[in-house]
Each structure stands twice: as structure tokens, then as C-alpha cells.
Amino acid sequence: MMLLPILVIGAVWFVGRSRGVSPARRVLFISGVCAAASALHAAFPFGRVPAVVGGSAGEWLTVAVLAALVAGYGEVLPRLRARHDARENASVSSGGGAAFTGAELERYARHIMLREVGGAGQRRLKEAKILVVGAGGLGSPALLYLAAAGVGVIGIIDDDDVETANLQRQIIHADARVGWPKTRSAAEAITALNPHVEVRPHRRRFADGIAERLVADYDLVLDGTDNFETRHLVNSACAAKGIPLISAAITQWEGQLGVYDPAKGGPCYRCVFPETPADGLAPTCAEAGVIGPLPGILGAMMAAEALKHLTGAGETLSGRLLIHDALLAESRVIAVGRRSDCPVCGDASRSLAK
């Protein structure tokens, strides 16, 4: 029966592998076993072959061919993968713009292996410029993950100093840097994490006089501020300059996240939140408290949306709003749309812009 040749060849293969015998030598040995079995079948015609040999000459040869194919596949596949990786690395290193160093290729290898990112996507990250408004709870994880991912230029704007009360959630800062400007503290942490990233600290408040000029220098803006006045100002500046905006907000156990890109047909932040809530209806973290890991969850999601936007991977949250409840361990996504009467990106505002 054909079972015996399969068992014999399987045993030879796995015993050889356990002893470190190369696949080529194992295949050669199996070929010799099969040739010997076939020769015995030829020497004992009319089915008189010894029982220990079993099967038939054709069965032994069939199993031998299958074993050779499997072994060949096992040998060829790693070589094809290595060749593909070499071509991918070569394209990353020799493409337009500054070439990746060997250290960078090793650092970003897990990104380059992703089909949705690859070498081309990693190069887009290296060439990208992102502005993060606020180096607090949301900005801290976002900044760290953007830096770790290899975003080429990261701008940080914040006029606050590091306080002890920040350290419960603002993980980019450290106790030894209490009293430092948040921009300086964040820049030091980013450089320590990834020296290949250029950091542009802006120690000042995000104000009307500089808003549009500042965002125009970047490809994407992340807003992690804690008040509606600044959020609306960031949104207006981004909409005016056609810069996509990723904005998140948190309080107590809940957070929300959206991508706002009216230049590509999506809503802007004011389309979704047209009015500033009355005092007390949307308390800040300082007023209502916040569980420490919540800004980490939403801030990491902000970074993920940024990487997806820059590399073209997957579906972003443009036109959708993600709401996360950490207390109940629930997340939901709702559709949001553009408003024609929006004072920032609606029909009237577009007519005035023309």
C-alpha cells in the first residue's frame, strides 16, 4: 500500500531535519531509498516483492516526486522572499528623496513587510510633515508613535510647561523634566526614541495670527487640545489651506476621534460640532478628571489614522466619528456628513473663497 512509502519518506525527512541535515541531502537520501525500493520491485516480478518493501514501484516513485516538489518549494520560497525583500529594500534606498540608511531599514522593517505600507509607504512617511497641536494627553502617545513610525518632520505647538499633575497620562514627559516647556520635553523624548526624525518645536499658543501660516507648512495636522475655541481655530486654518485634520477629545472615561478633510469632500470639524457647548456641558480633564490610559488609546488611534492617511492604507475615519467608552469597553462608529450651511467649508464659504 502507498501508506508505507509515505511513512518511510516522512520519517526520513523529519529525522533528518531534527539532526540538522540539509533539505538537499534529505531529498538525495529519499531518492536513494525510492530507487532501491523500485529496484526490489523490478527484481521480484509478479508481486513477490518482500513485504517489508510494500507498495509498488509506481507508488514509491510517485511519493518520491511529491517529496521532491515539497522540498523544492521549501527551498525556493525563502529565496523568493529574500529576493523580494532585497528588491523592496533597494527601491526604498534608491527612490526619490533622501535614501534610507541601513539602520532605518532595520528600524522600519515591520512596516516595510506590511503589504499595505511597503517600501513606498515608508518613504511617504519619511517625506511627510505632521503638526501636532498640543503635547498633552492626546499629543503624547500620538507624537511617540509618529516618531517611532518614521514620520520625517514632526512639528509641536504648545505654550504650557510640564507639571506633576500631567504625568498621570502625558507619557511623553518625565518627572525630571517637570517645569520644562512641553515642546522641549517632547522634543527630547522624540529624539531619544528616533534620532532620524526632525522635530520642530513651536513654544507658543495656537493663535489666529499664525494659524493658517503655520499649518500651511505641514501635510497633516493632529489636534489634541482640550477646548473648543482652539479646536475650531485649528479646523478653520486647516480648511482654509486644504490640510487634512485629525481631531480627538477625551473626558473621564470617554473619547471621540474623527478625520476632517473637506478638500476631499468630507466634513470639517465644525460640520460635526457646529456650536461650542455651554459652560459645564463639556468639562475638560482638569475639571472632570480622566482615566490615565484613555488618552493613550485615543492618541494611538490618532497616530494610526495619520499613518493610514499618509500611506493610503485601509479606510480612514473621514466621514465617520469613532466614540470610545473605556468604562464599558465599547466602541462605535457613526456616520457624519458635510453641511452645506457650514460657515467654514459650506457652499457660502466656498463662494467667498473664490
pLDDT of 21 reads 72
What is the dihedral sign for C-alpha 294, 338, 235, 228? negative
Which residues on adjacent β-strands are paired with residue 249? 256
What is the value of pTM for the model shown? 0.74
Residues 6+ apart with CB under 8 A from 6: 63
Determine the residue type at 219: D
Q: Which fold has domain 128-353?
A: Rossmann fold (3.40.50)
> Annotated catalytic, 285?
yes
Cell of 206: 495656537
Q: Which three three-digit cell numbers place residue 166?
A: 500631567
Helix (H) or strand (E) holding 65: helix 57-94
Percentage of the chain lying above the pLDDT 70 cut: 76
Q: Backbone phi, then psi, for 47, in 5-degree steps?
A: 75, 15
Whether 49 contacts 41, CB under 8 Å: yes
Grid look-up 475650531 returns 232
Hey, what's the cell of 28? Answer: 538525495
Distance CA 118, CA 129 (A): 19
SS3 18: helix
pLDDT over 60 at 50, yes or no? no
CA separation for the pair 36, 18 (Å, rounded): 24
Residue 308 has pLDDT above 90, yes or no: yes
Is 157 in a helix, a strand, or coil? strand
Strands 220-223 and 129-133: parallel
136-153 pLDDT tens trace: 999 999 999 999 999 999
Picking from 194, 219, 308, the residue whose alpha carbon sits closest to that of residue 186 is 194
Cα gap 196→45, rounded to integer Å? 74
Considering 34, 268, 271, 285, which one is annotated as catalytic? 285
| Extended beta strands in 126-253, E state | 129-133, 153-157, 198-202, 220-223, 245-251
Band (48; pLDDT cuts 50, 70, 90): low
Checking if the pLDDT of 78 tops 70, the result is no
Report pLDDT digits (tens) over 213-224.
Answer: 999 999 999 999
For the stretch 95-152, pLDDT in tens is 555 678 999 999 999 999 999 999 999 999 999 999 999 999 999 999 999 999 999 9
Rounded Cα–Cα distance for residues 21 and 19 (Å): 6
The predicted-structure confidence for 167-183, as pLDDT tens digits, reads as follows 999 999 999 999 999 99
Give residue 1's pLDDT band: very low, low, confident or very high (50, 70, 90): very low
71: Cα separation from own chain's centroid: 35
Q: C-alpha 129: how far from its chain's center?
A: 16
Q: Which backbone phi and psi does 60 adopt, to 5 degrees?
A: -60, -45
Residue type, 291: I
Domain ranges of the chain: 3-94, 128-353
- Residue 206 predicted with pLDDT over 70: yes
